[in-house]
Amino acid sequence: VVSAVHTPVLLEEVIEWLRIRPDGTYVDATVGLGGHAVEIAKRLTTGRLIGMDRDAQALELARERLSEFGERVTLVHARFSRIDEVMRELHAGADGVLADLGVSSLQLDLPERGFAFRFAGPLDMRMDSAEARTTAGIVNYWPEKDLANLIYRYGEERDSRRIARAIVRARPIRDTEHLATVVAGVKTPWGRQKLQHAATKTFLALRIAVNDELEELERLLEKTPATLNAHGRWVMLTYHSLEDRLVKRAFQEQARRGMLRVLTKKVQRPSAVEVQRNPRARSAKLRAAERLPAAAESSERQ
């Protein structure tokens, strides 16, 4: 039995920016273990919470955790790139959308999901275990050059070529621990990176590739405004610079087109106290926006 807990990141800030109306409709596009969702649901009277996740195992745990709210909560097993279809099927418009990107404690802490380099697990890293692409397919079969490019692009890892060469030479890579050891064997610790495990960036890059994370995010950013009611709030939590950059640009672009008002003039970060209590919050960045009424949009365009 899994009884994972995921400490929700920047919880107070998320709740504040969402400005929850008790009769509103809210979407948690990454419901995970329901940490943020419980706090949203608690603030509803006649309102509704729609929770999405691509991880069926997380969704089961969220279902238990949110059962006290009965019909007020609807959970959907879907990628968030389908947010517009999901909302259309439910005949709902959102007064608030939250996406808390990345992986949950459940995924990180269960060796069998293959996300962690600290213990041996299968070369998997799929958020949705029904999908085909796994880490094994990439590390054991991709050409060295493609592997190096992937580690460089998604991991922003300067030692990408050396790491790719070492992986190819060590094939077949057996498990996550083997992979982490091979990477650590050739990596030079640079400045601040000494604080991280040598394989952190390589694992991040593989996770992004296995789960198509940047494409998913781009589609979410493109589709969310259409699901928001006028004055609906939109909160994004990201955990690395590639993600934050996409969010920042999308918000700016949609503000320019008169669709959104960006609420966070500067990106919000967790306090030192929060990071101390929950180390997984350390890289978190929050941006929030509000959907402008359609009239503002058309007058901006002219």
Ligand X SMILES: C[S@@+](CC[C@H](N)C(=O)[O-])C[C@H]1O[C@@H](n2cnc3c(N)ncnc32)[C@H](O)[C@@H]1O
What are the residues binding ligand X (CB under 6 A)?
Answer: 6, 8, 30, 32-36, 52-55, 58, 79-80, 100, 102-104, 127, 216
- Closer residue to ligand X (CB): 160 or 227: 227
- Closer residue to ligand X (CB): 53 or 274: 53
- Closer residue to ligand X (CB): 53 or 175: 53
In the complex, the smallest distance separating the C-beta of residue 167 from ligand X, rounded to whole angstroms, is: 25
Pairing of strands 260-262, 48-53: unpaired
In the complex, the smallest distance separating the C-beta of residue 241 from ligand X, rounded to whole angstroms, is: 17
In the complex, the smallest distance separating the C-beta of residue 276 from ligand X, rounded to whole angstroms, is: 19
CB atoms within 10 A of CB 150: 20
Residue 143's identity, in one-letter code, is: P
In the complex, the smallest distance separating the C-beta of residue 220 from ligand X, rounded to whole angstroms, is: 7
In the complex, the smallest distance separating the C-beta of residue 246 from ligand X, rounded to whole angstroms, is: 13
- Closer residue to ligand X (CB): 107 or 176: 107
**Which residue has its beta carbon closest to ligand X?**
35
- Closer residue to ligand X (CB): 226 or 230: 226
